[in-house]
Chains A and B, each alone.
Chain A
């Protein structure tokens, strides 16, 4: 948790200092992309290698679906409340 914060903030500071260095920033966004590809490839490998997880995939997918539905419903419900509050404020002028 703490290490995540430190690394991320260090990155943001470095990015701030590197502003305008277009070449470096282009390399940065390329590297970000390929790091994501690499990590997801690794993740796929770990999962493909694990027979137990492979058998569980349908259940994991179903759980993921339920979580998504509830996450979306929860967030849009709150968005609706906020929308109504903002809307009312706008109407009052």
Chain B
């Protein structure tokens, strides 16, 4: 949670800095940002590949455990698609790209900003931050209404780190492995899925 505030802090300071019209010539974000983004994805890959626990969890294949992230993906995409039936200003592909952030706001928002537009990037940032916050605040309620898998699903990619403690408390310790597997798989899938929906 502390990390999230620091990340948002950098974003907000960036907004203030951007409001001054004179920034030095070397600060032209769109010139470098795609390379920085590639660097980030490489670094994230290194982190996952080197994480013994993560890799071992990923290779313990079990259909029941595997179905949890699958249902999160299907549920999220179906849910956000319903908006497209009512609202005309945003396309199905854009809705699904934002939804496919699964709470991983830092990565999904920069990918969307880079590949699509700053507007949709802002939506992705805010929406995926809200997903994490809603999960943290409403986990007990979600368990009551939708069963013990609900906070895992709602947490999306964050179920491996920021929302894992609340999942442990509300669903129970026996869901820690499911939550961790769920989070790590979605974390890996976020860049692919977001880029895929933006290519449609």
Contacts and interface: CB of A to CB of B under 8 A. Distances in A.
A45 B17 contact: yes
B110 A39 contact: yes
Contacts of A13: 45, 49
A12 B49 contact: yes
A4 B191 contact: yes
B176 interface: no
Interface in B95-139: 95, 98-99, 106-107, 109-111, 113, 118-119, 121-128, 130-131, 134-135
A40 B7 contact: yes
B39 A35 contact: yes
Contacts of A65: 126-127, 130
A32 B127 contact: no
A16 B56 CA distance: 12
Nearest to B86: A66
Nearest to A82: B71
Interface residues of A, number: 69
Interface string A1-14: 10111011111111
Given A7-B38, A7-B42, A43-B118, A71 B127 contact: yes
A43 B45 contact: no
Contacts of B188: 8
Interface string B126-164: 111011001100000010011111101110100000000
B82 A11 contact: no
B93 interface: no
B46 interface: yes
Nearest to A70: B79
Contacts of A70: 79-80, 82-83, 99
Given A15-B47, A32-B40, A71-B76, A42 B150 contact: no
Nearest to B149: A79
Given A44-B16, A75-B153, 17 more contacts: A15-B48, A16-B49, A19-B52, A33-B3, A41-B13, A42-B33, A57-B122, A63-B123, A67-B98, A71-B131, A74-B75, A74-B76, A75-B76, A75-B79, A75-B154, A79-B146, A82-B71
